[in-house]
Structure 1
């Protein structure tokens, strides 16, 4: 049927794009801070196997530098690139908004969101400026690693030095909003800044405790605040037209179905952290964190000064509305669900 349709199109003088054959090699560049032995790379090997069964052969290439992976993808070296929620902001603001500060506080919210992102209902938002997102999978919640366990509520963040990633304008805006001191960092050096005492606080998934030895920066007095300030995720990006629509839809389904296995590994990392390292916070403090983070997001969206507008520009309004609806679906009693200033 496909051959007949292509032949007919040629006879009619129409341009035709031929979907990739299973035997054709496609370069799949994967960023994982730990390289080929890392959690992300190993998780995406399952994606690679399922892609083969869908008629697409992928050769995986590990990268430990996300900027290098993005540059090679833009240069055409890679046909697909796997990047973090920060990296995907180069290509798609819709899925890049998943990491909005405090916008996905619980794993149940994330589970619902992953299902939504595999649905055809959001197809129009998954393509921007000549690029397509071929799916999203979780990497775990981002927690605050602190060198002082008394930093256990939003007010205690004032005056503290906090690492902020290059280009993470929304995080920088939040820190300035609450009176914290941003410390410029990259994925390649944020753990070192924390571990050497150049920052009081750093945000990262639980896996960083072991993989990046962030327990060193905690010393005897520090810990991990048991409240997610965001979700870290991996996004697959390809140029539009690189793969046919059938595979694009299949790819998004494959990625969404990685959720259970990815979360199993995430929870293994979280469970492996000694119980005494976690800093439990009260229910009131959790509500305070969530409301403070919501106020920061709204402040950004209403900002008229340059830094606020730059921060707000990384958020896609459609995704912010979806995230608010997801939060109110899983937690209908939340203050924001009845607030007038909704996202």
Structure 2
């Protein structure tokens, strides 16, 4: 009888431990009023199905959020796909140059989150990725004269992230001058004309009047360089079995809503900011980005399975893309 009672008490204590608060360190440049934080509240409600109560510790500076997670102040991290590469190569590769080309492909990728071949690559012994919030395609934002050719990028200063070898290689391949930036100072450096070109999603510049605050020559080149998303990483040891799959199921069910939000952000950027390039020059950009990307696939920097998966998804959406032609 004592064994039965002890077993019941142990089970109750275990259930109560799962129901206790789990803290996630969240990077949201707009703090708790930002769209990322609002989306996380929906996830928090869904997490209660697993008897997990989520609490968010929000940071406007991404490096501070990552540091707090690394110091185990939080059991979860919500940060950019560029800077969560260290925790999961497969999901970190979502930020790869020339890979996810648009929000449509990102939506289809989200729909595969419970596919066994995809899901097993999101789970590691120490870290597990439970979701990805799409933010949008990364474009070249310029405050210099109109650039219509790859050759015109020579000697221009381009903002790149620290510890991102593909971005450095891409800048060097066109003869540009790389300047290291992070999400905390990139916009200020661009406004101060310390960099000519900044890679960013439309969401990142929506709060600004580009021509008034950055200069009359400011334009957004309508060519995808990479994809910006927010990955959710946890230490699975602190969560009940099946928690990660439960959250990934939420992302599958809400993939259309999440992608539609990213599309809406891009559509909010006024048409007069966009600059199109010719089909001929676009082929040149595509070939250049493809060469750099493939170099880092061969070196093992980008996850090979992810690259092949996205290539298949892209060819379904964009059969005329350079790697899809027969």
Q: Give the structure-2-normalised TM-score.
A: 0.89
CA contact under 8 A between 1:151 and 1:157: conserved in structure 2? yes
Partner of 1:87: 83
Distance 1:188 1:144 in 2: 18
Partner of 1:180: 176
Match for residue 29 of structure 1 among 12, 25, 31 = 25
Partner of 1:237: 233
Distance 2:160 2:18 in 1: 42
Which moves more between the two structures, 181-190 or 155-164?
Answer: 155-164
Distance 1:216 1:37, change over 3 A: same
CA contact under 8 A between 1:146 and 1:202: conserved in structure 2? yes
Distance 1:223 1:240, change over 3 A: same
CA contact under 8 A between 1:196 and 1:217: conserved in structure 2? no
CA contact under 8 A between 1:118 and 1:135: conserved in structure 2? no
Distance 2:15 2:223 in 1: 44
CA contact under 8 A between 2:296 and 2:302: conserved in structure 1? no
Distance 2:57 2:141 in 1: 31
* Number of equivalent positions: 319
Q: Does 1:144 align with 2:140?
A: yes
Match for residue 153 of structure 2 among 133, 137, 157 = 157
Distance 2:16 2:144 in 1: 54
Distance 1:19 1:151 in 2: 60
Please report how far the alpha carbon of residue 19 of structure 1 lies from its aligned counterpart in structure 2 after TM superposition: 6.5
CA contact under 8 A between 1:163 and 1:203: conserved in structure 2? yes
Q: Does 1:117 align with 2:104?
A: no
Q: Does 1:255 align with 2:251?
A: yes
Secondary structure of the residue aligned to 1:68 is helix
Please report how far the alpha carbon of residue 226 of structure 1 lies from its aligned counterpart in structure 2 after TM superposition: 1.3
Please report how far the alpha carbon of residue 207 of structure 1 lies from its aligned counterpart in structure 2 after TM superposition: 1.6
CA contact under 8 A between 2:297 and 2:303: conserved in structure 1? no
Match for residue 324 of structure 1 among 298, 311, 324 = 311
Distance 1:20 1:203, change over 3 A: farther
Partner of 2:215: 219
Q: Give the structure-1-normalised TM-score.
A: 0.85
| Residues 39-54 of structure 1 aligned to structure 2 (within 5 Å) | 39-54=35-50
| Residues 67-86 of structure 1 aligned to structure 2 (within 5 Å) | 67-86=63-82
Partner of 1:309: none
CA contact under 8 A between 2:107 and 2:258: conserved in structure 1? no
Please report how far the alpha carbon of residue 78 of structure 1 lies from its aligned counterpart in structure 2 after TM superposition: 0.7
Q: Does 1:107 align with 2:103?
A: yes
Q: Does 1:278 align with 2:274?
A: yes
Which moves more between the two structures, 197-206 or 34-43?
Answer: 34-43
Distance 1:55 1:239, change over 3 A: same
Partner of 1:14: none
Secondary structure of the residue aligned to 1:62 is strand
Distance 1:169 1:275, change over 3 A: same
Distance 1:236 1:167 in 2: 20
Please report how far the alpha carbon of residue 177 of structure 1 lies from its aligned counterpart in structure 2 after TM superposition: 1.5
Question: Unmatched 5+ residue regions in structure 2?
Answer: none
Distance 2:194 2:256 in 1: 37
Partner of 2:323: 336
Distance 2:40 2:316 in 1: 30
Distance 2:251 2:38 in 1: 13
